[in-house]
A and B are shown apart, each in its own frame.
Chain A
Amino acid sequence: MRKSLAAAAVILVLLLALSSGIGAAKVTIDFWTLFTGPDGRVMGELVEQFNQEHSDIEVVMQILPWGEPYYSRLATSVVSGEAPQVAICHDYMIPRFASTNSVLPINESMLEVLEMGEDMFYEAVWHNSGSYEGVRYGIPLDFHGFGVYYNVDLLHEAGLSSEADALPVTGDDFVAALQKMTKDLDGDGTIDRWGIIAPLDWFRAWSLWAGVWQNGEDFLSEDRTRSTWNTDVGRKALQFQVDLIHKHRVMSPELSVNPFLAYYQGQAATMISGVWEVLGAEAAEGLNYTVGNHPLIGPEKVYAIGSHTFVLPVQASRDAEKERAALTFIKWILDHNLEWVKAGQCPARLDVLRIDEFRNAPYLLPQRTIAEQGAFGRYLPKIIPWSRVQERIVSGIEAALLGKKTVEQTLIDMDREIDAILIRGR
């Protein structure tokens, strides 16, 4: 009895020693993302694969709700010294976190660890995302833009081609196509199939500033201290959206917080959405779809794009080992960029653009189409209160589309509200 007890004790001590040995060699890092859709599953699988291939690093991924809740959690985690070692951050949130020293600058030696240089990346993406006031804080994981999802059957029914080079390019072409597809099916005098379903509120905002850029102007003064929406170009861009409803009558006049279903069910022939919508479109039963680029409503070929970037949130105390593990993880994920692209994003890495699968696979059509925007892409202005500015634009468009305000009044109010935010500066 006593003997077996002693033996058990020895085994226990050995086990403890062994496990603590393993524990010491293994670095655990936390990774926060906001991928709440099917893209979160893809990222989860990548993390799992990384963990299997690395006996010395354990990455624990947490998915937090998209949007404001995510960024407020990230901010509070930094304040309380409980921040994850790696987090996903939209390019437009970089100024907020960089200006408050909440994320680490990415220096040359870190890039060396990553064996990464700018030649690895899509040039426009590397140069225009992840930096604030000349300092890099984020490493781009991908980029995304908006396109038009067409219902191929309804295109054909209206006598239109679904070939990539036959899809509308300009705003006028787009409206003409929508007019052909908008129908009163039962002949009761009301339209029951719309050319386009009114996009989600903030998608409309992306279209709006893209419209301003396509006409060669900007909606903020060059020094970023004044809002300049109320100009000929601003009015033209907003008028284009209002006209889709009130003049051309090709867009559903009723705004919904979930417009996707109407497109998936064939109640609208097109929808505007991001490249990430591909997984939803693939899953929609009986939907035969194709994707064209966002229409251009001005002479310049410019698209509004954004990126998810990796950031290294500031820790209570710096730990070189964890930092190195974090960089190793980022590098590995970027080496599997094509897998991530399949979750509905355009690649940050240049070489992915040349991979056969990316160039030919039918299920990567939206990514391929939107990836062309990279070279003509423009990122959001790098200002700290960006999300607040965007909220005012979203609200203004809504008032104009619902006829609550005229186009001009909307833009005057928008300027006034945004100016107040810019003055406050946070």
Chain B
Amino acid sequence: MASNQRRKYLLLNEENPLSAYLYLLPYLTLFVIFIALPILESMQISLYDWSLIGPPPRYVGLSNYHYIFTEPTELFLPSLKNTLQYAVGAVPLFVVGSLFLAVAVDAVKRWKGFFQIAFVMPMVINVAAISIIWIWIFDPTSGLLNYYAGLLGLPSQNLLGHEETAMWTIVAVSFWWGVGFPFLVYLSGLQDIPQTMYDAARIDGANAWHCFRYITLPLLRPTLLFISVMQIIGAFQVFGQVYILTGGGPYDSTRVVVQHMYLTGFQYFEMGLAAAMAWVLFSILIVFTLIQFKVFRFGERLEY
């Protein structure tokens, strides 16, 4: 009886909502120590002039924020603009492109497993490795792409070497690398939609487009919200592949905001400026996320 009583406290049910927090406790503890507190501390750092090594931090109020927005030679705003360019290319491509792939793979009758693995595979490769492979493929003089272009009689290309194409090329490589995750999430979302709905719709005379538009899409709404929030956040945090593929070049035209933050903090030893940039980026992401929750009417239940 006593042990039954005790077990009751550990049960996760509607009578006992507290137990959920108990299960979360180990994670929450680590989250607070290693994520929440450092984030708060970075807020404090953003108000100080601090170079990591050397003299102790000096309180400067909001002047770090002022500097990153007003200093004409500061690259924060240009990198924010470059990041926006990346997001404009990458977010729709990831949200729509991987949905398209998931719907297509879900519909194929044979080779399904092969396609699933093929699209997910690049995701498990390390970002440095994929970037180095693509650098070699895109190399203007000795790269694979130009070798094939030459065989077809096409002029050689230097996609990563020019402002006009560099960022879009990074978007394409990122999609190739990162499509696996949204693809998998969509696929599992699709499999949650009961087949009976499609059968019923077919009987009512719906075609494939109708099924997609009026069944698949509405029922995927939570998944779409999740994917688009994740993709926007991911796009604003893009760093690794850009840093290796172009290093931010040519002439800073692909320098992205996280790269600029990293360089400001750890190469220029301006931790205060870097922390201020991090908070500006954080605010932008919060705004975007709230807008998305509104657009996708999060929390509303959809039932057929």
Contacts and interface: CB of A to CB of B under 8 A. Distances in A.
Interface of A: 68-69, 71-72, 75-76, 78-79, 96-97, 99-102, 194, 197, 201, 252, 254-259, 261-262, 265, 267-268, 385, 387-388, 391, 395-396, 398-399, 402, 404, 416-417, 420-421, 424, 426
A81 B53 CA distance: 12
A267 B250 contact: no
- What are the 4 A-B residue pairs with the smallest beta carbon separation, nearest first? A100-B54, A254-B140, A72-B266, A262-B141
B142 to A, nearest CB: 4
Given A99-B54, A102-B53, A416-B73, A255 B250 contact: yes
Contact of A398 (B139, B156, B251, B269): B251
Contacts of A71: 266-267
B142 A398 contact: no
Given A68-B266, A72-B266, A426-B269, A256 B249 contact: no
Given A68-B263, A96-B269, A100-B54, A398 B73 contact: no
Nearest to A384: B269
A420 B71 contact: yes
Given A102-B53, A416-B73, A388 B267 contact: yes
Interface of B: 51-55, 71-74, 135-136, 139-142, 156, 158, 160-163, 245-247, 249-252, 263, 265-270
Contacts of B267: 68, 71-72, 387-388, 391
A197 B251 CA distance: 19
Contacts of A252: 140-141
Given A265-B142, A426-B269, A79 B52 contact: yes
Contacts of B140: 252, 254-256
Nearest to A421: B73
5 contacts: A75-B266, A101-B54, A102-B54, A268-B141, A398-B250
Contact of A399 (B53, B135, B251): B251
Nearest to A101: B54
A261 B251 CA distance: 23
B161 A256 contact: yes
Contact of A197 (B53, B71, B135, B141): B141
Nearest to B160: A257
Nearest to B150: A192
A231 B12 CA distance: 75
Contact of A97 (B53, B72, B135, B263): B53
A258 to B, nearest CB: 6
A261 B143 CA distance: 9
Contacts of B156: 254
Contact of B141 (A256, A388, A416): A256
Contacts of B245: 257
A75 B251 contact: no
Given A388-B267, A426-B269, A257 B52 contact: no
B269 A75 contact: yes
Given A256-B158, A267-B142, A388-B267, A78 B247 contact: no
Contacts of A421: 73
A142 B55 CA distance: 31
Given A101-B54, A395-B252, A388 B268 contact: yes
A71 B267 CA distance: 8
B245 to A, nearest CB: 8
A261 B73 CA distance: 35
Contacts of A78: 53
A268 to B, nearest CB: 7
B138 to A, nearest CB: 9
A258 B139 contact: yes
A396 B251 contact: yes
Given A254-B140, A402-B250, A426-B268, 12 more contacts: A72-B266, A100-B54, A257-B246, A261-B141, A262-B141, A265-B142, A395-B251, A398-B249, A398-B251, A404-B251, A420-B71, A426-B269
Interface centre among B74, B139, B156, B245 (most CB of A within 10 A): B139
Contacts of B158: 254-256
B161 A261 contact: no
A347 to B, nearest CB: 30
Contact of A404 (B135, B136, B163): B163
B135 A257 contact: yes
A314 to B, nearest CB: 9
A395 B249 contact: yes
Contacts of A417: 73
A194 B263 CA distance: 35
Nearest to A252: B141
Given A255-B158, A267-B141, A426 B51 contact: yes
A289 to B, nearest CB: 17
Contacts of A426: 51, 268-270
Nearest to A69: B266
Contacts of B51: 100, 426
Contact of B139 (A76, A194, A261): A261
B244 to A, nearest CB: 9
Interface centre among A97, A255, A257 (most CB of B within 10 A): A257
A201 B141 contact: no
Contacts of A268: 141
B53 A79 contact: yes
B135 to A, nearest CB: 6
Contacts of B160: 257
Given A385-B268, A388-B268, A420-B71, A257 B54 contact: no
B251 A100 contact: no
Contact of B161 (A68, A69, A75, A254): A254
A358 B161 CA distance: 40
A259 B247 CA distance: 15
B129 to A, nearest CB: 14
B97 to A, nearest CB: 27
Contacts of A101: 54
A385 B73 CA distance: 15
Nearest to B49: A426
B71 A262 contact: no
A59 to B, nearest CB: 25
Contact of A75 (B52, B139, B162): B52
Nearest to B157: A254
Nearest to A395: B251
A420 B72 CA distance: 9
A132 B160 CA distance: 39
